[in-house]
Structure 1
């Protein structure tokens, strides 16, 4: 049985998601914080925990941040009502998001969205990076008509003010009367949620991989092989995008460089039909980007908890983690012609331009034994409290 901290359990009783449009703040790149995570007992974080699980902050009072970022499922949406879980269902019970809901776990480590010296982009929140940081990301789902569907920030603040206990807490934490000003009140709400998302609840670093680095457990021979393959560019290209720190022994490795790549993911035909057959242009859909060379690129996701957070890719097109590894291998292995989930040849890329073939075609072909070893290693990146979900 999963065990959570007292403040979170309390928040559950006190009582997103996909992709709203918003302008990216012009900020200097943020460094990864060395003092994350903050204490769960921090007043802002405790207040944010209550807001995170409060369903009254959606139009129909039936959906919270925690609905699409389920604490019991590694902070992803495991509901299956919307295209078999490829996307999330909105508060109105019929609207669907346009992309697969990314995990909120470890999201606090993403730097602010910025352009690097090589002209490429890095960081931000959402799959196209358009929210610079966690507070900006938290602004979106409340007002997105496909998600929580609140008509305005002022109405969200009014819903918060319905609870006298909230008003007392906000006055104490953010200053007397902060909720009387809709703009300041909304900023305080999103700041509190962001504070909660920076706690150890979202980033415990206690997976089998982490515990093995600390000498608490040993990886199996298969997992060790997968680890060697993953971190060695002689055998795979995995760590070209999915390694942040120079050393694979770093205690806070998030398994993403936070950059943007087009890896040639095929369209999800069901989602395309839902969206009027419109292609998802990824980074080019970020309001601050107008460079066609960014079309089809999405932020490299963290691989932490990847074994329990499917379906995969921005559109949920792949259901199984092994399929994802085989998809990468097809770029170097002429034998990998068939998608095992469809029994048909791999479908064409949703966006055929700008595919990063330089990185994708680096590695040698992988035999099944090595594919299975990589999958076994990826399973070791599961937070300890979610290990019971493996292979479920």
Structure 2
């Protein structure tokens, strides 16, 4: 698996001149590799250091726990941060694994086997975070560092101050030269670059070490339940999961990423456990705000959130952008029964009627996805029954990294 290393070197070569003194010759491949290793090592330290936060108590790894696929270790729908660690977040914290192939955000994404065929516009696609507003690892890292309800630094200068006070000056000067410390903006950018390079470490962030990957390589077999779950996952008339969570290899042979990187409105129920939702006028509308501000008022984008990868989904304890569900089975069942059994998911009003799609204002409900297994009417038979839901959940369990066979199984 050489291509991730090459990509890391290429990334580091592109970053080589950031905050660097002018040099007569471009960096050699060996130098770029050495710099990549140093940046990744620095980024790993920064990622786990709470001293970079305003409170001195919150590190990147606090919410993106390496032992939990770089997602939260707890089941809280949002995490707490801020200057005194009492400020609640607005959204569930996503995993940082398998983000290496996420394209930059675009409003019009075209993809086909024939690169000349651009007949299908897949609409808003790509970008990091739930609303796609960051187009690179360092841009993504900037968000929590400066967020008032996360690491709560008032400005980049505060981050730099904390980093120097924490003793990172010598490592920064070793990588970038002595002049780096005299330029606060360059130092801040260097810190972000280190975090970005660390997250390009394929062994840690995209190892492709699940049972599913072993099955793809012919090294194990899926159980009958897992195999049936995969079949249902891909069946357009049943789970239809693979229509958004692609389960085929990329054209370059890369294993499936289990996402199309697109934006979709699922209309998950409003989560009263999120403090911001105590205000009935507050709605997290994803692509059209309020955290993303460049599409405010763009009604066709309201309620859309990026489709995450399903790799390591079985390790999560909260699901969807607002953490409304706490079991993978409930998450799958929601797709199957949102429209056929809405009373299972949405609250009832005082008059007994169901508050359907209660977290999305009525004027945006034309955006809601109705592809299978959604659709139908209350009382109709759902696309998936209980057994089929369990089988899909069993298959999703094969996407967890770090799988080790109990014994060697013959290739299928």
TM-score (normalised: structure 2): 0.77
- Equivalent in 92, 96, 102 of residue 104 of structure 1: 96
Deviation at 1:191, TM superposition (A): 0.8
Cα deviation for residue 158 of structure 1 reads 1.3
Give 1:365's aligned residue: 383
Contact 1:153 1:186 in 2 (8 A): yes
Q: What's the counterpart of residue 317 of structure 2?
A: 310
Contact persistence 1:143–1:149 (CA under 8 A):
yes
The answer as to 2:59 corresponding to 1:64 is yes
The residue aligned with 1:147 is 150
CA distance in structure 1 between the aligned counterparts of 2:262 and 2:4, rounded to whole angstroms: 18
2:356 counterpart of 1:348: yes
Question: How much has 1:72 moved relative to structure 2?
Answer: 1.1
- 8 Å Cα contact 1:106-1:254 kept in structure 2: yes
SS at the partner of 2:205?
coil
Residue 289 of structure 1 is matched in structure 2 by: 295
Gaps of 5+ in 2: 10-32, 110-120, 377-381, 406-412
Q: Does the residue aligned with 1:121 lie in a helix, a strand or coil?
A: coil
Partner residue of 1:239? 242
Alpha-carbon spacing, 1:232–1:362, altered in 2? closer, same or farther (3 Å)? farther
Answer yes or no: is the 8 Å Cα contact 2:122–2:262 preserved in 1: no
Distance 1:323 1:279 in 2: 23
Residues 1:135 and 2:153 are matched in the alignment: no
What is the TM-score when the length of structure 1 is the normalising length? 0.81
- For each residue in 1:242-271, what CA deviation from the matched residue of structure 2 results, as whole angstroms up to 9, or x when unmatched? 117567995431111111000111110221
Task: Report which stretch shifted further, 102-111 or 294-303.
Answer: 102-111
Alignment-derived partner of residue 13 in structure 2 = none
Number of the residue aligned with 2:396: 378
Q: Deviations over 1:77-128 (max 9, x none)?
A: 1245xxxx10001042210100000111112221111121537211111101
Partner Cα distance (2:390, 2:182) in 1? 57
Deviation at 1:139, TM superposition (A): 0.6
Cα distance in 2, alignment partners of residues 271 and 335 from structure 1? 24
2:264–2:304 contact (8 Å) kept in structure 1: yes
DSSP 3-state at the match of 2:174: helix
Displacement after TM superposition at 1:336 (Å): 7.3
8 Å Cα contact 1:226-1:377 kept in structure 2: yes
1:184: which partner in 2?
186
Pair 1:325–1:123, CA change in 2 (3 A): same
Residue by residue over 1:186-236, the C-alpha shift from the partner in whole angstroms, topping out at 9 and shown as x without a partner, is 111111101111112111110111111112221101001111111232432
Residues 257 and 300 in structure 1, CA contact (< 8 A), matched pair in contact too: yes
Task: Give the secondary structure class of the aligned counterpart of 1:122.
Answer: coil
Query: Residue 158 of structure 1: SS of its match in structure 2?
Result: helix
Matches within 5 A, 1:1-392: 35=6, 42-79=37-74, 85-91=76-82, 92-116=84-108, 118=121, 120-164=123-167, 166-199=168-201, 200-243=203-246, 245=248, 251-271=254-274, 274=277, 276-277=279-280, 278-285=282-289, 286-290=292-296, 291-331=298-338, 334=340, 338-339=344-345, 348-349=356-357, 350-351=359-360, 352=362, 353=365, 354-358=367-371, 361=374, 365-384=383-402
- Measured in 2, the distance between the counterparts of 1:192 and 1:345 equals 53
Name the CA distance, whole Å, in 1 between partners of 2:51 and 2:302: 37
User: What's the counterpart of residue 409 of structure 2?
Assistant: none
Corresponding residue pairs, total = 349
- 3-state SS of 1:235 partner: coil
1:183–1:360 distance in 2 versus 1, CA, 3 Å: farther
SS in 2 for 1:63: coil
For 2:140 and 2:332, the matched residues in 1 are separated by: 30
2: CA distance between counterparts of 1:384 and 1:347?
Answer: 42
The question of whether the paired residues in 2 share the 8 Å contact of 1:55 and 1:64 is answered with yes
Aligned-CA RMSD value? 3.1
The corresponding residue for 2:116 is: none
Taking a change above 3 Å as real, the CA distance of residues 75 and 140 of structure 1, as seen in their structure-2 partners, is: same
Structure-2 change in CA distance of 1:151 and 1:249 (3 Å): closer
Alpha carbons of structure 1 residues 119 and 341: separation in structure 2 relative to 1, 3 Å? closer
Checking the alignment, whether the CA contact within 8 Å between 2:337 and 2:374 is kept in structure 1 is no
Structure 1, unpaired ranges of 5+: 1-31, 388-392
Q: Is the 8 A contact 2:90 2:276 kept in 1?
A: no
